[in-house]
Structure formats: structure tokens, C-alpha cells
């Protein structure tokens, strides 16, 4: 009888161990995270700056985690399609949102959103911050600097046109600030991403674009586009001969509010958030990754979740003030 009781006890103990081994850890995840592909929601098309930066980081983090990271381009509506999907994602560590400033700007330029950036998301890390933007024009625009651009624009019977990846992103805001400061009335033409807007400029459909380097650098080298200024506080190392906007005709004008960050759906387990931030931090220290960002005009950061949360709140204040100056009304 005692032997039967002992065998029963041992059997129950082994069963408990087997069940525990097959049961996911708290939060519905496996302790060996990741055990399946992690989806990185990308709000803009392949070929644009956010996509290039996001893929570079995802590829490196993927190799460090020993798992798979799949970049999923969900474009349109100034990123809102991807942002809404991110808000509805399962908080299990297998959905990551690659966000740009449009993530925050949308709350200022649109009256109704299907997501709340504080309620629906958990900050992971601010990957990198930009130094400024290139101002590019089509060769048909008779201007080689900002001063000449302003004079040329004011001499036209119809407003010049400029393209952006959509209403309410930093490129839209930056160009409208330039409009306001230069006394111009250039017409905004929104597209579904940087790549389509750049192609429109190459085709002569629009006159001007402001965008992150180095998206249009190669086109300037072959003469298909002309770079007339850089919007940062100092010249970009990638084009050291190109003057800043402030140097070339509009003193005091500096615009460099841009960043690329990762967020997770709200309630994603804290240990997974910290693991991802740690892996991004390691990735940004890899020479080929770090050099790619710096040469592209970005300052590598890999900030903590808390730092990213505070940073976004500060940026919201800046964007609201810039929108007021540029007279951008909520839609």
C-alpha cells in the first residue's frame, strides 16, 4: 500500500513538471522568447527612410535574439493604418510598432483617431533622432539657394507645389513652417510615402520636397534634382558644401524634429519591453549599424522606455506650437 502511494505521488509530481514545462510564462508568452516571428509594423512604404532604418535595426536584433523579425509595411493615412493595427495588437511581445513623429503629430492635426498614444501603447526605445532635412527642388525651379527660391516662388503666377508623405507628418510641418517664415504660399500635395513623393518630384509633378537625408542624395549627384539647403542647425556631414537654410536666405530657421522609435501594444510584459530595448541598444553599438545611421544623418540613441515616453510628451508640445505658427488646422 505504501508503495502504491509512493508511485502515485511520483507520478503526480512528474505530471506537474510536464504541464509546467508546456505552460507559457505569465503574460501568455514562452520563457524562451521569441518562439515565433515578431512582426514589426512599418507605417510607410518600402524604400523610404523609416523603412530603411527599421529594417537595419530589425535585421541586427533578429540575429541577436536568434529568432525572426518580419517587417510588415502597412501604409497610408499618414501612418494611421499601422498605428491602429499596433494599438489592437496582442500584448505578447510579438507585435512591435515602428513609429515616426506622425505617430504623435496625428493627435494634433486630426480631431478623431482610432488610437491613443498614451493609453494604447508601451514605449520601448527611441532608436535615433535626426539632424535635419534636405530641401530639394526639380531642375526646372530656377534657384540654387533659399534666397533665390523665395524670389522665384514670389515671381510665379501660380504657387509652387511641394510633396510630403501625407498630412500631419514632420515633413509637412517643416515645409509649412518654411512657407510661413518665407512669406510663401506653396501648395501641399500629399502622397502615401516618401518614395512616391520623391518620384513625383523626379517626374516634375511637384516643384519641391523637404526630406530626410540620404533619400535624395544620389539624385542630386546625377543632376536629376538640386539640393539648395539643409534645415538643421549646422551643415550635414554627408553634404558639407550645402549651406543651411539659415545661411542661405532665412536667418534663424532651424528644423530637425524627427525620430524613429519602437512601441509595443499596451500591457506588453515589462520584461519583454526591457529585453527588446536592450537588444536595440546592443544593435546600435554594432559598427555597421551605427555607421549606417550616422552617415544617413541620424544620431543613434536606443533610449530607455521612460526616456522615450518623456521625449514624446516634450515633442508634442513643440509640434503643437509649430502647427500653430504654420496655421495647420485640425481636420
Tell me if 139 is assigned to some domain. Answer: yes
pLDDT at 322: 84
Q: If you average pLDDT over residues 135-146, what whole number do you get? A: 97
Range of the domain at 220: 134-230
The CATH number of whichever domain residue 214 belongs to comes to 3.40.190.10
Q: If you average pLDDT over residues 181-205, what whole number do you get? A: 93
pLDDT exceeds 90 at position 201: yes
CB atoms within 10 A of CB 159: 14
Instruction: Give the C-alpha separation, 266 to 278, whole Å.
Output: 19
Number of structural domains in the chain? 2
If asked whether residues 218 and 266 sit together in one domain, one would say: no
pLDDT exceeds 50 at position 2: no
pLDDT exceeds 90 at position 279: yes
Instruction: Give the C-alpha separation, 4 to 279, whole Å.
Output: 51
Domain-terminating residue out of 210, 230, 250: 230
If asked whether residues 264 and 225 sit together in one domain, one would say: no
Tell me if 200 is assigned to some domain. Answer: yes
Q: Between the CA atoms of 109, 113, 117 and 121, what dihedral angle is there, to the nearest 10 degrees?
A: -150
pLDDT exceeds 60 at position 157: yes
Q: Between the CA atoms of 40, 41, 46 and 49, what dihedral angle is there, to the nearest 10 degrees?
A: -80
Tell me if 43 is assigned to some domain. Answer: yes
Counting Cα atoms < 13 Å in the Cβ hemisphere of 157 gives 0
pLDDT of 117-126, one tens digit each?
999 999 999 9
pLDDT of 87-110, one tens digit each?
999 999 999 999 999 899 999 888
pLDDT at 90: 97
pTM: 0.77
Please, what is the average pLDDT of the chain? 88
Tell me if 243 is assigned to some domain. Answer: no
pLDDT exceeds 70 at position 10: no
Go through the chain and tell me how many residues it has: 331
Tell me if 173 is assigned to some domain. Answer: yes
The CATH number of whichever domain residue 107 belongs to comes to 3.40.190.150
∠203-206-210 over CA atoms, to 5°? 105
User: Is the alpha carbon torsion for 94, 299, 198, 231 positive or negative?
Assistant: positive
If asked whether residues 141 and 224 sit together in one domain, one would say: yes
Instruction: Give the three-state DSSP class for 27.
Output: coil
Residue with the larger pLDDT of the pair 327 and 238: 238
pLDDT of 202-225, one tens digit each?
999 999 999 988 778 889 999 999
Block residue for cell numbers 493595427:
85
Instruction: Give the C-alpha separation, 287 to 58, whole Å.
Output: 15
Band of pLDDT at residue 295, cut at 50, 70 and 90: confident
Tell me if 179 is assigned to some domain. Answer: yes
Instruction: Give the C-alpha separation, 23 to 10, whole Å.
Output: 20
If asked whether residues 141 and 286 sit together in one domain, one would say: no
Is 225 within 8 Å of 137 (Cβ atoms)?
yes
Amino acid at each position: 500500500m505504501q508503495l502504491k502511494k509512493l508511485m502515485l505521488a511520483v507520478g503526480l509530481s512528474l505530471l506537474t513538471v510536464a504541464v509546467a514545462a508546456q505552460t507559457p510564462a505569465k503574460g501568455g508568452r514562452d520563457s524562451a522568447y521569441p518562439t515565433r516571428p515578431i512582426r514589426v509594423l512599418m507605417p510607410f512604404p518600402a524604400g523610404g527612410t523609416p523603412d530603411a532604418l527599421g529594417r537595419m535595426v530589425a535585421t541586427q536584433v533578429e540575429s541577436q535574439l536568434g529568432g525572426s523579425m518580419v517587417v510588415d509595411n502597412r501604409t497610408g493615412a499618414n501612418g494611421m493604418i499601422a498605428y491602429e493595427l499596433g494599438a489592437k495588437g496582442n500584448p505578447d511581445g510579438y507585435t512591435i510598432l515602428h513609429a515616426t513623429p506622425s505617430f504623435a503629430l496625428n493627435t494634433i492635426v486630426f480631431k478623431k483617431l482610432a488610437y491613443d498614444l498614451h493609453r494604447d501603447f508601451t514605449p520601448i526605445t527611441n532608436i535615433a533622432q535626426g539632424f535635419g532635412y534636405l530641401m530639394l527642388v526639380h531642375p526646372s525651379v530656377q534657384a540654387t539657394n533659399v534666397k533665390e527660391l523665395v524670389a522665384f516662388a514670389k515671381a510665379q503666377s501660380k504657387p509652387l507645389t511641394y510633396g510630403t508623405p501625407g498630412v500631419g507628418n514632420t515633413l509637412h510641418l517643416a515645409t509649412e513652417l518654411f512657407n510661413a517664415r518665407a512669406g510663401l504660399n506653396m501648395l501641399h500635395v500629399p502622397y502615401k510615402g516618401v518614395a512616391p513623393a520623391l518620384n513625383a518630384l523626379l517626374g516634375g509633378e511637384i516643384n519641391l520636397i523637404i526630406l530626410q537625408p540620404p533619400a535624395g542624395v544620389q539624385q542630386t549627384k546625377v543632376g536629376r534634382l538640386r539640393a539648395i539647403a539643409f534645415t538643421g542647425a549646422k551643415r550635414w556631414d554627408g553634404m558639407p558644401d550645402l549651406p543651411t537654410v539659415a545661411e542661405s536666405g532665412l536667418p534663424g530657421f532651424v528644423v530637425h524634429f524627427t525620430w524613429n522609435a519602437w512601441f509595443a501594444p499596451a500591457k506588453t510584459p515589462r520584461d519583454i519591453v526591457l529585453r527588446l530595448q536592450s537588444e536595440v541598444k546592443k544593435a546600435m553599438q554594432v559598427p555597421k549599424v551605427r555607421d549606417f545611421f550616422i552617415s544617413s544623418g541620424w544620431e543613434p540613441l536606443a533610449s530607455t522606455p521612460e526616456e522615450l515616453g518623456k521625449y514624446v510628451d516634450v515633442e508634442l508640445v513643440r509640434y503643437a506650437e509649430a502647427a500653430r505658427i504654420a496655421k495647420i488646422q485640425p481636420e
